[in-house]
Structure 1
């Protein structure tokens, strides 16, 4: 395992569309379950918006390999909740040592879903 300690419990949330009762749809996040992982920072910067600057944190998440198609395998656009932080999955990659590498960015508090 190359020294990875899976010391963070992450909750996987997947987006679903539900009707809003007025002919449209709203996005709702539903928890799929949890898994243990190692979370390390890749980079951080300030994103410029019309309301000022917002901090943006990018992380690399390492966990045990999860087969393609499994309900607990994160995909691009899914969210991972780590305590008070929420990360949006940007990329998922299996490596040769039976680990799953996930690249994600923190979702700023108060950002619309």
Structure 2
């Protein structure tokens, strides 16, 4: 599949953890939407890829490709993303080779789809 802006046909929401004081000396961690929803391409990692990488577990591993905008470059591994109501923990972010116009976010979830 050729990677271009037209192949970004899904919408994802990035979320960032915010620590707020709870009034009794502690903190409450809350996840809040961070920025607007953005277009992405989604590709679930196959079972064969997971086995060959030695990463077999009950998690669904997915790769999302987004444009390499200033916002996209500001996404952190400590953030998470939501797609179609399913929350994914980000495990890696890298530039897509040879283009520098796109970023690939590897994320995983334990939720069944």
TM tier relative to shorter chain: 0.7 to 0.9
More helix by percentage: 2
Q: Deviations over 1:55-89 (max 9, x none)?
A: 3101111111123xx48732102111111211111
More strand by percentage: 1
Unmatched 5+ residue regions in structure 1? 48-54
Unmatched 5+ residue regions in structure 2? 51-55
Compared CA separation, residues 94 and 75, structure 1 to 2 (3 A): same
Q: 1:9, 1:37 within 8 Å by CA — same for their partners in 2?
A: yes
Instruction: Classify the secondary structure of the residue corresponding to 1:23.
Output: coil
Q: How many residues align?
A: 100
Q: Which residue of 2 aligns with 1:85?
A: 86
Aligned residue among 97, 102, 105 for 1:99: 102
Q: 2:60, 2:108 within 8 Å by CA — same for their partners in 1?
A: yes
Distance 2:24 2:88 in 1: 30
Normalising by structure 2, report the TM-score: 0.74
